[in-house]
Amino acid sequence: MIWDVFGTLTAVPALDRPDLLAKPVALALEQLGADAALVGVAEIDPALADTAEFCAAYGSPMDGSANCVVVAGRRGEDTRYAACLVLATTRADVNGLVRRRLNARKASFAPMDDAVAITGMEYGGITPVGLPAEWPLLVDAAVAAAPAVVIGSGIRGSKLALPGELAARLPGAEVVEGLAR
């Protein structure tokens, strides 16, 4: 079962519990059509939203979680954003692949205040589902190959789980080999 990746938590179809989703996330899930049925949601303690703590508390494997990192690429006055989805056991190569993909001179983690303001999601709950349409979503090949991954839900009080192959098909998603190290 896909949602077994939640460990001890019990998941329900995400669209059955819109109260556990940030607004842009619920909207994006509705637009997924039939695929939305593959996405599960589980309520968690908001204090345990950090991936390492979440995995330890609920018995979910670290390589079954994916972190969503928002990167800001700058060239002169121009700032472009991209989201990277990498397994929690790995880290994104921001200054290499992501910077080149954004065609930026300088790439950095987006300041959390900016990321939160632009995405309409909570700090620590940013997820690849429901990001601004113009942002590329770079998905590491290992995420795309995973049977299931836990990601954020836009709020700290819950998590989503979905098949890696669906993460790789989200709007704007590109599978990138070697994104994570």
Partner 1 sequence: MFDPKHLDTLVLFVIGIVSAPVAAYAFAHALRQRADAFTAVGKLTKNAWLGITGAAVFFMLLIPAFTAFSLGPFTPMFAYGGDPNYHPPGIMAAFQGPGSSMTLFWLAGLVAVMVYIVDVKPAIVGVQGGGQRY
CB of residue 62 vs partner 1: minimum separation in angstroms?
13
Sign of CA dihedral 63, 154, 68, 149: positive
What residues numbered 8-67 form the site for partner 1, per CB under 8 A?
67
3-state secondary structure of 151: strand
- What is the C-alpha separation between 136 and 117, in angstroms, rounded? 18
Q: How distant is the alpha carbon of residue 169 from its chain centre? A: 13
End-to-end Cα separation, the chain, in angstroms: 28
> Whole-number minimum distance, CB 134 to partner 1, in Å?
20
Return the number of the residue (16 or 50) whose C-beta is nearest partner 1. Answer: 50
Report the alpha-carbon distance of residue 42 to residue 10 in Å, rounded: 6
**One symbol per residue from 98 to 137: x for binding partner 1 (CB under 8 A), - otherwise; what is it?**
--------xxxxxx--------------------------
Binding characters for partner 1, 59-98, by CB under 8 A (x = yes): --------x-x--x-----------------xxxxxxx--
User: Where does the chain have alpha helices with state H?
Assistant: 23-30, 51-58, 99-101, 112-119, 141-145, 164-167
Smallest distance from partner 1 to CB 95, Å: 5
Q: Least distance from C-beta 111 to partner 1, angstroms? A: 5
Nearest CB to partner 1, comparing residues 84 and 166: 84
CB of 106: closest distance to partner 1 in angstroms?
7
- Polymer length in residues for the chain: 181
| Interface residue list for partner 1 (CB under 8 A) | 67, 69, 72, 90-96, 106-111, 181
